Chains A and B, each alone.
Chain A
């Protein structure tokens, strides 16, 4: 059975609304992740993905609920959880290299200057930026800044990687190479990853599970898609896999229509936010295999948008 390395337990987040009262970005959100699992989150802009990530990072606190990591409730940020920020968040007065070195020296305060520099340079080389290592962020392109952000997160050997659209500003070629690189590192080091993305193909290539979030305010985790592709996939063969298009269509259908009308979809039905259904769009029959902890339901493979299996089985917590 899966362990719950990260367990998001009933968190909600609300902000004061302009005209008094408050808007609830999301409410009663539950999600658990196993050690070494790669989870991608997909949802429309503004649904609260970054907010969830900030809570996981310890930068933001939920209005209610808790997040438990490795048996302990999160109380603040930790060096064990590295964040790749959506906005890069590089310190503009430091060069690319010293931005990374700052992280390295925070992680290992006892290292000598040259050791810090060497470790930072290693991370910079990993993202292919050695030519630009001594440039300031203002002299870097958006994609280069994003790569520095990735290098900074990887340089501190975190246990958990929290990535907020880490590859969004990159050209297709660089994105491919970096995705390969990050995937390799994550598998080698047994990284547990929480990644936000808008790119369906990226999610299918990288993630073990893809979390689908409905539109805010009051966003929910509609379902969790178990990636049917073999772990040993490569960039060039993913789209040849028979399960690839069913998964892809399922997700795109969700984004196009179901993410908006999800509340109508579940209206009148028993909905348990603690156990969002785990679907496997490539498996034709329900109940084929209990992948993970949640119930497995049939996906519709994209042919019937709006369809939602009513005879879902419930797992126990």
Chain B
């Protein structure tokens, strides 16, 4: 097992090296800049005319990334804010929308899971609302809420609610009958039963839903912030594209991926805590 782990790490590192090398060669080796129409090259940015590709090399990206890490929280005007700060905005929005969704989805999911009546009654609504792209809500949100920041939070709320709601309802409805029977023979009241039997029994399923939700929320926040603008990592990417700073765009892409992985890992850890072997 241990050697498998070591070998897989070695292979991962090798793949990364190969990729970086190929990237480096592809960007520096070619002389596409000189063959390019100078007018077009000018449009594409100055670097293209200096005999280098407009595409940054891994070293450029690395240096930029290092720069952002060294000084993540600067503010030099509305369009020049540190990547750390932008990330902070995005994470705050995701957290706000996600927590709101949790506050609604978990109790509602419990209700749906415990009551066959509510389950049937609410099912058509869920079926119709669930497949709607969260961004389709954006105009409606902007119109009614009239605040771009809050609208982004609403979009996160609406996209992360479904997996949590559906998984909670499913987990609660499918708690093993015999565990419920134990509580029943012990005359455990409804509320105590919900917290001491149903919640622990359904927790792994619920946390799986929460994990899916956080993934979707992080996907959606970038798109949402590109639309609403102002702050956030999505806006940062869009802004850097307008500045034609591909280096910064790639850096931001890397950071977005990294934060997404962290969020997923946190939920995975939580899932591990509540899982029980049978």
Contacts and interface: CB of A to CB of B under 8 A. Distances in A.
Interface of A: 57-59, 76-79, 81-83, 85, 87, 89, 91-93, 102-103, 106-107, 136-138, 156
Given A92-B277, A93-B200, A138-B278, A107 B181 contact: no
B197 A77 contact: no
Contacts of A136: 276-277
Contacts of B178: 85, 87, 89
A93 B184 contact: no
B185 A102 contact: no
A59 B184 contact: yes
Contact of A57 (B179, B185, B201): B185
A222 to B, nearest CB: 29
A89 B278 contact: no
Nearest to B275: A93
Interface in B126-174: none
Given A91-B197, A91-B200, A102 B277 contact: no
Contacts of B187: 77-79, 106
B186 A93 contact: no
Contacts of B201: 91, 93
A166 B44 CA distance: 80
Given A102-B186, A102-B196, A92 B276 contact: yes
B184 A77 contact: yes
A23 to B, nearest CB: 20
B254 interface: no
A13 to B, nearest CB: 16
Contacts of A89: 178-179, 181-182
A102 B181 CA distance: 14
B14 interface: no
A82 B187 CA distance: 11
A81 to B, nearest CB: 7
Contacts of A107: 186
19 contacts: A57-B185, A58-B184, A59-B185, A78-B185, A78-B187, A79-B186, A79-B187, A81-B185, A82-B185, A83-B181, A83-B185, A85-B181, A89-B179, A91-B179, A91-B201, A92-B277, A92-B278, A102-B186, A137-B278
B253 interface: no
Interface string B257-278: 0000000000000000000111
